[in-house]
Amino acid sequence: MNKKKFSIHKAFSILFLTVIIFAVGVLIGNQTSHQKVNTVLELSQELQLQTRGIEVQYDILEENICLNDDVLFLTEDLFDLSEKIGFMENTLGSENAKVQEMKKEYFIVEAKHWLLAKKRTKDCFQNNISMNNTVVLYFYSNKGDCPRCQQEGTVISYLHMEYEGMNVYSFDATSDSTVVTTLKQLYNIKDEMPALVINDETHSGFIDADEFIAIVDAQAEAIKLTKEELEV
């Protein structure tokens, strides 16, 4: 009899402790979620201010594009924006409305920077292409239908580190952003991902580092031959 009472008492004690632990876990979880929401809201406001500021900087730099070799220092700002948006995407999910809104803002800023980079190559380098002034548009998909997108991203990141003046702009090909839609139409980007536009030349499918460098070298040689023919 005593043994039975002890078992019941023990069972209720375990149940009570379980409920307490669960309640504490829920409380901590709610506090953590609340903190995450607050962090994301603050980050969203910060991103909006940052994107506006960068757009004004672009307009200023466009007027003096060749006066400063470091005119594209704004690449660091783009990277910073990308990191923050990545945090939001990981926290809220890629389908979250706020995440989609901020990605579209980011694509607009990227497109403005891309136009600035193209203008710099044309006006300051007379279109003499090299790895150090190459401009790349990288289209990817993160919906699980592009097994080599992550690998392509690694290749592009490596080349970007190796060639300091190389400019890379990444766009989610599945986005309904008008910027992305326009660029895809302009460069005839189809469903096959990844896709790269290297100095205005479209390439579909995965490209490794050696192939990438060979493409840029061939472009530079073609421009050189064209100029020599015009001079004859």
CA–CA separation, 87 and 214 (whole Å): 35
Stated pTM of the model: 0.74
pLDDT along the chain (232 residues), means of 10: 51 52 47 48 60 66 65 62 75 78 84 83 81 91 87 90 86 92 95 93 95 94 78 64
The predicted structure's pLDDT at residue 231:
67
Residue ranges in the chain assigned as alpha helix (H): 2-62, 74-92, 97-124, 149-162, 178-186, 209-231
User: Where do the structural domains in the chain lie, given as residue ranges?
Assistant: 1-124, 127-232
75 neighbors 113 (Cβ within 8 angstroms):
yes
The Cα 203–Cα 189 span in angstroms is 9
Comparing CA positions, the residue from 144, 161, 135, 146 lying closest to residue 193 is 146
For residue 130, give both structure tokens.
């090299």
> What is the rounded distance in angstroms from the CA atom of residue 191 to the CA atom of residue 149?
13
Q: Which CATH superfamily is domain 127-232 in?
A: Glutaredoxin (3.40.30.10)
